[in-house]
Amino acid sequence: MNAGTRSGGRTLWVAVRTMIMFTVVLGIGYTLLITGIGQLALPAQANGSALVSQDGDVVGSSLIGQSFTDDEGEPLPEYFQSRPSAAGDGYDGTASAGTNQGPENEDLIAAIAERKTRIAEFNGVSEDAVPADAVTASGSGLDPHISPEYARIQIARVADARGMSEDEVAAAVAAATSGPNLGYLGETVVNVAELNLALDEREG
């Protein structure tokens, strides 16, 4: 065996050992370390921010919106309604997407006008009181939040449907409201899934 062959063999063996070492350290060790830290420090977030009912059933995620409609797609009056969604048939986690329609798109303009009329009638308010997020979809189609303004026009309807006082429902809205991240990133929002779950548990 000549020197070149021996040198090539040593180089190959070094490469194989290095690959095995980094596979163990980075592929297995690092993964287990980060998973362990996540489970210890932030277990809820590490497991998908699941929303769990009092019965122990997972009913959704605080990070992903969902619709609150009957089998025919009609909004349920006892629930706060989410904003429209263009993800699949609506809030489809496997088809995150926006409409990609511009502000001058005729179909979008017609859809906004129709939604505004329907939402105003459903909540017993004027069309001028319907905020923009109530009639437009988010870029991801999975936004779990609505604006405090949209939540506010739904309070009376939800209170009436549940036999609760408006003050009780307003307090639940306040509890599900969060301000901008770090005090200045984003806007004040209401998590619809968390809010509806809280109302169900209060009734239960």
Q: Please write the tens of the pLDDT for every residue from 153-184.
A: 999 999 999 999 999 999 999 999 999 887 78
Alpha carbon distances (Å) from 110 to 44, 105, 115, 147: 41, 9, 9, 22
Residue 132: which pLDDT band, with cuts at 50, 70 and 90? very high
pLDDT digits 0-9 by tens, 16-35: 889 998 898 888 888 888 88
Domain boundaries in the chain? 3-43, 49-203
The pLDDT score that the predictor gives to residue 181 is: 82
Q: Around Cβ 202, how many Cβ atoms within 10 Å?
A: 13
Query: pTM for this structure?
Result: 0.77
pLDDT in tens, 34-62: 888 877 776 666 666 777 777 777 877 88
The pLDDT mean for the chain works out to: 88
